[in-house]
């Protein structure tokens, strides 16, 4: 069986992506013949439920023979996509270890600008068939029909060949979503640049710091702890209307605004986090649960963050109006919080986005405010000879 896992970040060009997949599947079926059925799993944000893969995504990532990545710029900024890529590249590495063979079953599709530039994670397992053209443009423009048909034929033949001649071995144990690394972030740290669409410098970066508690931490200070989990990153302030964690929501907004993003929850080390972000030229957005004003360690961390007085630190305090307990205690909680954050007034402090939609708008506004400030205060950084544009001089450790 040929099972294609399509790793995809839906956007306004979704109709063109669907057209590409339909044409490609038709071509694969014609080449693969009826005795070898074709299955396709199209991954979207619904592939992650809470802190783990959905059942469908888990099964497809376990067994797929080809990983097709529709590589828009937002794709490389999307946490889910980076973790999907890492999962399949790990399977490919295991396959190579066991068999000694290296199937090029990872198929990147350049989706925008002038193709994929630079190296990609697990490059030895990728094919260049759809890497150097803007495939989105080939789908959209009738003048590209001949080149498009040729590309579809080459892709289909490659998929059939890889799936039939050397199918990637299924994995025995798929890592849960929570602990799966993001291939793009890991690769970017090792190579001093991320995979990108189009030439140019890297996108800006934002680090989201969760000032929230685990369920066991919150139980002594409030009755309804269904919004929390075993980890601080499990915080879901807008449930039941939105089941996503606040971290996932924030990173989705960051990708929409073309920011790299990361999430940390070690609020006790906030000074170190802020200093590291300052050294890396990263914006910090603290996502603060108003209830943590009743936790001594969190109050201490918030005071430290306020004393830091970095203009590139923003704070957002989500308040779900459908959370009866929070609504009842809101006046008291926000009064305490206001005293703690008195020095943080202004456009980089947002208290009370009352719905998931408002939260996303507020975070988006903060990101654009930070981007505009960066443009206004930008300075010229010297670039080491031979270094790519946008990179920093770096010394190799001994």
Q: List the chain pLDDT tens, one digit each, 398 residues.
A: 789 999 999 876 779 999 999 999 999 999 876 556 799 999 998 999 878 899 999 999 999 999 999 998 889 888 899 999 999 999 999 999 999 999 999 999 999 866 677 778 888 999 999 998 899 999 998 888 999 999 999 999 999 999 999 999 999 889 999 899 999 876 665 544 444 444 455 678 899 999 999 999 999 999 999 999 999 999 999 999 988 899 989 998 998 898 988 899 999 999 999 998 888 888 999 999 999 999 999 999 999 998 886 767 899 999 999 999 999 999 999 999 988 887 666 667 788 899 999 999 999 999 998 888 764 444 433 233 333 333 333 333 33
215 and 265 housed in the same domain: yes
20 and 116 housed in the same domain: yes
210 and 183 housed in the same domain: no
* Close Cβ partners of 303 (under 8 Å, ≥ 6 residues apart): 340
Measured distance CA(260)–CA(230) in Å, rounded: 26
Residue with tokens 């020095």: 343
Of the three residues 187, 219, 238, the one that is the final residue of a domain is 187
208 and 332 housed in the same domain: yes
Quote the crossing angle between the two packed helices 270-279 and 296-308, to the nearest 10°: 30
CATH assignment at residue 108: 3.40.50
- 111: domain range? 2-187
Type and span of the H or E element at 367: helix 356-377
240 and 339 housed in the same domain: yes
25 and 162 housed in the same domain: yes
210 and 282 housed in the same domain: yes
208 and 164 housed in the same domain: no
Question: Considering the domain boundaries, does residue 33 fall inside one?
Answer: yes
Of the three residues 162, 187, 212, the one that is the final residue of a domain is 187
Structure token pair of residue 142: 């009738």
Q: How many domains does the chain have?
A: 2
234 and 119 housed in the same domain: no
HEC letters along 12-38: CCHHHHHHHHHHHHHHHHHHHCCCCCE
Question: Considering the domain boundaries, does residue 246 fall inside one?
Answer: yes
Question: Considering the domain boundaries, does residue 393 fall inside one?
Answer: no
Length of the chain: 398
CATH assignment at residue 342: 3.40.50.2300
134 and 183 housed in the same domain: yes
Question: Considering the domain boundaries, does residue 194 fall inside one?
Answer: no
Question: Considering the domain boundaries, does residue 243 fall inside one?
Answer: yes
For residue 288, list its beta bridge partners: 211
């Amino acid at each position: 069986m040929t099972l294609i896992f399509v790793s995809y970040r839906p956007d306004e060009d979704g109709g063109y992506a669907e057209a590409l997949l339909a044409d490609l599947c038709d071509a694969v079926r014609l080449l693969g013949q009826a005795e070898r059925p074709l299955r396709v799993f199209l991954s979207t944000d619904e592939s992650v439920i809470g802190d783990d893969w959905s059942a469908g995504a888990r099964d497809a990532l376990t067994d797929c023979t080809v990983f097709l990545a529709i590589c828009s710029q937002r794709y490389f900024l999307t946490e889910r996509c980076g973790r999907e890529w890492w999962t399949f590249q790990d399977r490919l590495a295991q396959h190579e270890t066991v068999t000694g063979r290296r199937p090029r079953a990872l198929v990147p599709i350049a989706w925008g600008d002038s193709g994929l530039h630079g190296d990609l994670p697990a490059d030895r397992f990728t094919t260049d068939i759809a890497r150097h053209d803007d495939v989105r443009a080939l789908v959209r423009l009738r003048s590209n029909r001949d080149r498009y048909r040729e590309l579809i034929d080459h892709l289909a033949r490659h998929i059939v060949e890889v799936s039939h001649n050397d199918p990637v071995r299924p994995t025995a144990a798929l890592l849960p979503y929570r602990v799966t690394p993001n291939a793009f972030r890991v690769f970017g740290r090792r190579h001093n640049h991320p995979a990108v669409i189009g030439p140019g410098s890297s996108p800006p970066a934002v680090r989201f710091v969760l000032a929230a508690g685990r369920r066991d931490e919150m139980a002594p200070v409030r009755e309804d702890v269904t919004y929390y989990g075993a980890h601080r990153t499990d915080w879901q302030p807008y449930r039941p209307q939105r089941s996503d964690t606040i971290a996932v929501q924030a990173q989705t907004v960051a990708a929409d605004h073309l920011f790299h993003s990361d999430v940390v929850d070690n609020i006790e080390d906030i000074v170190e986090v802020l200093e590291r972000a300052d050294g890396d030229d990263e914006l910090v957005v603290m996502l603060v649960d108003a209830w943590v004003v009743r936790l001594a360690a969190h109050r201490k961390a918030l005071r430290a963050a306020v004393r830091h007085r970095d203009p590139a630190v923003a704070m957002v305090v989500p308040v779900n109006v459908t959370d009866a307990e929070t609504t009842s205690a809101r006046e008291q909680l926000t009064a305490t919080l206001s005293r703690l954050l008195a020095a943080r007034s202004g456009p980089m402090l947002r208290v009370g986005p009352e719905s998931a939609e408002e939260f996303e708008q507020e975070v988006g506004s903060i990101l654009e405010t930070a981007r505009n400030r960066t443009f206004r205060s930008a300075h010229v950084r010297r670039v080491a000879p031979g270094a790519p544009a946008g990179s920093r001089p770096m010394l190799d450790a001994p």
